[in-house]
Amino acid sequence: MAFVKGAWRILVAIKDGLVLLFLLLFFGALYAALSFSPKPAASISAGALLLDLDGTIVEQPAEADPFALLSGSGPAMKEYRLSDIVTALDAAKTDDKVKAVVLNLDGFMGGGQVAIARVGQALDGLRAAKKPVLAYATLYTDDSYQLAAHASEAWSDPLGGVAIMGRGGSGLYYKGLIDKLGVNTHVYRVGTYKSFVEPYIRADQSPEAKQANQALADVLWQNWQDDVAKARPKAKIAAYAADPVAAATAANGNMAKAALSAGLIDKLGDATAFGSRVAEIAGEASDAKAGGFAKIDLAAYVKARKPANDGQIGVLTIAGNIVDGEAGPGTAAGDTISDLLLTALNEKDLKALVVRVDSPGGSVMASEKIRNAILKAKADGLPVVVSMGNVAASGGYWVSTPADMIFAEPDTITGSIGVFGILPSFEGTLAKMGVTTDGVATTPLSGQPDLAGGTSPQFDAIMQMGVEDIYRRFVGVVAQSRRKTPAQIDAIAQGRVWDGGTARQNGLVDRFGGLEDAIAEAARRAKIDPKTARAYNIEKTPDKWAAWIEAMAERETDDAGAPRDMLARQAMLQRGWAMQAVADVKALVTGAGIRADCLECRSYGAPKMQSAAEERGMMALITGLWR
C-alpha cells in the first residue's frame, strides 16, 4: 500500500510540474505576443545598411524550433542566408537611401571561403558604385578579416587587432579510447583516401590522408591570401601571417598597432568612435546616443527587396548532412528534398533546374533518392545545372552527377568519391564486466550483426562486398556523367578530396562560377534570355509561427554574443568544433550504416553551433565515456 501511495505522489508531482511548465510557456508566449510589434518591411529609412553578423553565413538556415526558443535553449548563434546578404548588397548599390554599408563583425563566426568570397564580390560592387563600406571588429580572425579586407575602411578596437590562423588544425582520434573501452570497430570501406573512418581505427592520420589534407589546406590558404591581397594590395598579409611573433614584437605586443602598421586595418578606435565616423556619412541616430548612427535593418531591407518566388528556373538547395527520412531546412533529408522536387515538377511550369549543393555527404540511400528525383527532372526534358558552394563532396557529389554542367569555385571542396560503413560491437567491453554471450544459429547470418557478441566472418565479408559494390556503382555513375571510363574516375576517386581548381582540371567540374552563373546557363539551355530568367526556390514554405517566435526571441534577447578577446574567442570556436566532432560521432552511430561522407570537409567552414540542450547532451555523452 505504501508503494502505491508513493507512486501516486510521484505521478501527481509530474502532473503538477507539466501543468506549471505549460502555464509558464503559455503566459510567456502571451506576454511576448502582446509586447511584440514587428517592424514593417516597407518602411526603410535612409542611413547605413547594417550587417551585424552575429553568427554564421550558410546556404540554407535551419528552421527554428519554437519550443526551444521559448525555453531559452535555442542555438547560441544566428544563421544568415548567403543569398539574402548578396541580394541586400546588390540592391544597395543603386539605392539612394543607403548612404553606406556597415559590417559589424564582432560576433561573426565564419561561413566558408566560397560564401565569404561571394559576399566580398558584392562588397567590391558597392565600392565600385562609390558606396562607402566600413567594417568594425574588436578582433578579426581569418573569416571576418576576409570580409573586412573588402571594406573601404577597416576599423579595430585598440585592444583588439587581427589574428590570422591560416588553414589546418588537429582532429580527434578515438582509437585509444575505443581500445580502453574494449569496443571492436568493424570498418567496411573502399578508397585509399577515405579517411572518415581513420579516427576509429588509428591514433593519427595515415600518410595518404595527411598528404591529401595538406595539399587541400595549402591550396585554400593560398586562395585566401590571393583574395585578401587583391582586395587590399597594400596589406603585408603574407609577412604578417608567416611571422606573427615578429609583428607583435615590433609593436611591443600591441596586436592592434601591429595590424595597423602592416596595413591590414585603416584605423583604431572603439565602437563609439567607429559609430561617430559612420554618422558623418550616414547621418545621426534619432536618439542622439553617443556612437549611434542612422541604421537600416538588414532583415527588413531583405524582405522589402527580395524578388518574388515565381520564376521559371527551379533552384533546389541541398545543404547540410544528407540523411534518410524527413527533416527541415539546413539538413538534406532524402525524402523531404525528393518530395519537394517532385511536387514542384508536378505543380510548376519549370523550364530548367539548378541544383545548389553545399553538403559533405552522408547516407548513400538518401543521396540516391535525391539523385533519382533530379533524374526525373531530366526525363521531363529540363536542363539540369549544378552549382557547388563551399563543399559538394561524397554524397554531395553523388547528387551532382545528373548535371548537364557543373559550376564550382576555386575554393569549393569536392570529390571524396568513396564509400564506407562502420559498426561497433561490444563483446570486449562486456567481457571486462564478466558478461559473455552464447546461442544457436540456423544460418551463418543468424543474429547478425551481433553487437553484444561480435560479428561473424561471413557477415563481415558480405558487408565489405556490399560496400565495394556501391563504390563501383558510384564510380560508374560519375563515369557516365563525366563521359569518362570507370578506370579514369577510379584513379581520381578513392575517397580523395579536391579543391575546385584541381577538380576542374581532372574533369569533375566543368566551369568556375557561382549560383547566378548556373542560373544563366540553365536559362540559355532552356532557350530563355538569361537577363529575363527568374528563379523559383524549391524549398519548404517557412513556418510562420516559428518565424514569429524567432523574430520575437531575437528582439527580446540580451545575449552578450561572441567573446571579443582572442583567447576567449578562439576557445569558443574550438569548443564549437569539438561539439561538431561529437555530433558527427553520434550521427555515425545512429544514422545510416553505409555512407558516402567526408569528415575532413567539415573543418573548412564554420562549426554548426549546437543548442544549449544539444551541448548538455553531448557533454553528458563525453562525461559518460570518460567515466
Q: Model confidence at 361, in pLDDT bands (50, 70, 90)? A: very high
On the question of pLDDT at 480 being above 90, the answer is: yes
Write out the three cell numbers for 335.
525524402
Q: Is 343 exposed, middle or buried (0-12, 13-18, 19+ CB in 10 A)?
A: exposed
**Integer CA distances (angstroms), 288 to 46, 271, 272, 555, in order:** 16, 15, 12, 21
Q: What is the pLDDT of residues 417-427, one digit of tens each?
A: 999 888 888 89
For residue 315, give the nearest of 375, 369, 368, 357 by alpha carbon: 357
Q: What is the pLDDT of residue 177?
A: 81
Q: What is the pLDDT of residue 79?
A: 92
* Active-site annotation holds for 348: no
Q: What is the pLDDT of residue 380?
A: 96
Q: What is the pLDDT of residue 466?
A: 93
- Antiparallel, parallel or unpaired: β 594-597 and 419-425: antiparallel
Write out the three cell numbers for 605.
567552414
Domain-by-domain residue ranges, the chain? 47-168+215-305
**Integer CA distances (angstroms), 71 to 29, 186, 267, 544, 576, in order:** 10, 40, 42, 19, 21
Report the alpha-carbon distance of residue 143 to residue 127 in Å, rounded. Answer: 20
Q: What is the pLDDT of residue 580?
A: 64
The length of the chain is: 627
Q: What is the pLDDT of residue 39?
A: 46
Tell which wins on pLDDT, 102 or 178. 102
Place of cell 556597415: 102
Query: In 184-236, which ranges are E strands?
Result: 184-190
Q: Residues 247, 265: contact at Cβ < 8 Å? A: no
Q: What is the pLDDT of residues 254-278, one digit of tens each?
A: 999 999 999 999 999 999 999 999 9
Q: Residues 618, 579: contact at Cβ < 8 Å? A: yes
Beta-carbon count within 10 A of 281 CB: 17
**Integer CA distances (angstroms), 252 to 165, 186, 245, 248, 257, in order:** 20, 54, 10, 6, 9
- Antiparallel, parallel or unpaired: β 55-58 and 133-140: unpaired
Report the alpha-carbon distance of residue 578 to residue 575 in Å, rounded. Answer: 5
What is residue 227's DSSP assignment?
H
Q: What is the pLDDT of residue 269?
A: 96
Of the residues 144, 367, 387, 394, only one is catalytic, namely 394
Helices (H), 243-306: 244-250, 255-261, 271-282, 298-305
* Active-site annotation holds for 194: yes
Helices (H), 449-603: 457-482, 486-492, 500-505, 515-525, 544-556, 566-590
On the question of pLDDT at 315 being above 80, the answer is: yes
Backbone φ and ψ of 184, nearest 5°: -105, 115
Q: Model confidence at 8, in pLDDT bands (50, 70, 90)? A: low
Report the alpha-carbon distance of residue 424 to residue 588 in Å, rounded. Answer: 10
Q: Facing residues of 315 across strands?
A: 354, 537
**Integer CA distances (angstroms), 575 to 71, 500, 607, 610, 618, in order:** 23, 29, 9, 10, 12
Q: What is the pLDDT of residue 176?
A: 87
Q: What is the pLDDT of residue 516?
A: 96
**The 3-state secondary structure of 299-326, one letter per residue:** HHHHHHHCCCCCCCEEEEEEECCEECCC
| 47-168+215-305 carries CATH number 3.30.530.20 | no
Predicted TM-score (pTM) of this structure: 0.85
Q: Omega into 449 within 30° of 0, i.e. cis?
A: yes
For 428-431, the CB contacts below 8 A with 24+ separation are: 428/181, 428/182, 428/183, 428/184, 429/181, 429/182, 429/183, 430/182, 431/182
**Integer CA distances (angstroms), 79 to 53, 63, 109, 277, in order:** 9, 10, 10, 28
Q: What is the pLDDT of residue 548?
A: 60
Tell which wins on pLDDT, 335 or 21. 335
Of the residues 78, 131, 194, 257, only one is catalytic, namely 194
Report the alpha-carbon distance of residue 416 to residue 396 in Å, rounded. Answer: 9
Burial per residue of 227-243, b for 16 or more beta-carbon CB atoms within 10 angstroms, e otherwise: bbeebbeebebeebbee
Q: What is the pLDDT of residues 435-467, one digit of tens each?
A: 999 999 999 999 999 989 999 999 999 999 999
Q: Residues 211, 222: contact at Cβ < 8 Å? A: no
Q: What is the pLDDT of residue 37?
A: 47
Tell which wins on pLDDT, 286 or 586. 286
Averaged confidence pLDDT in the chain: 86
Q: What is the pLDDT of residues 130-187, one digit of tens each?
A: 999 999 999 999 999 999 999 999 999 999 999 999 988 777 788 888 888 888 888 8
Q: What is the pLDDT of residue 38?
A: 46
23 CB-near residues (< 8 Å, 6+ apart): none
On the question of pLDDT at 354 being above 80, the answer is: yes
Q: What is the pLDDT of residue 198?
A: 84
Write out the three cell numbers for 179.
581500445
Q: What is the pLDDT of residue 41?
A: 41
- Antiparallel, parallel or unpaired: β 98-104 and 47-52: parallel
For residue 409, give the nearest of 82, 77, 80 by alpha carbon: 82
Radius of gyration (C-alpha) of the chain in whole angstroms: 26
Q: Facing residues of 353 across strands?
A: 314, 384
Q: Model confidence at 12, in pLDDT bands (50, 70, 90)? A: low
Q: What is the pLDDT of residue 584?
A: 62
Q: Model confidence at 40, in pLDDT bands (50, 70, 90)? A: very low
Q: What is the pLDDT of residues 603-627, one digit of tens each?
A: 776 666 555 545 555 455 545 544 4
Q: What percent of the chain has pLDDT over 70?
A: 78
Q: What is the pLDDT of residues 552-578, one digit of tens each?
A: 555 555 444 566 665 566 666 666 666
Q: Residues 625, 426: contact at Cβ < 8 Å? A: no
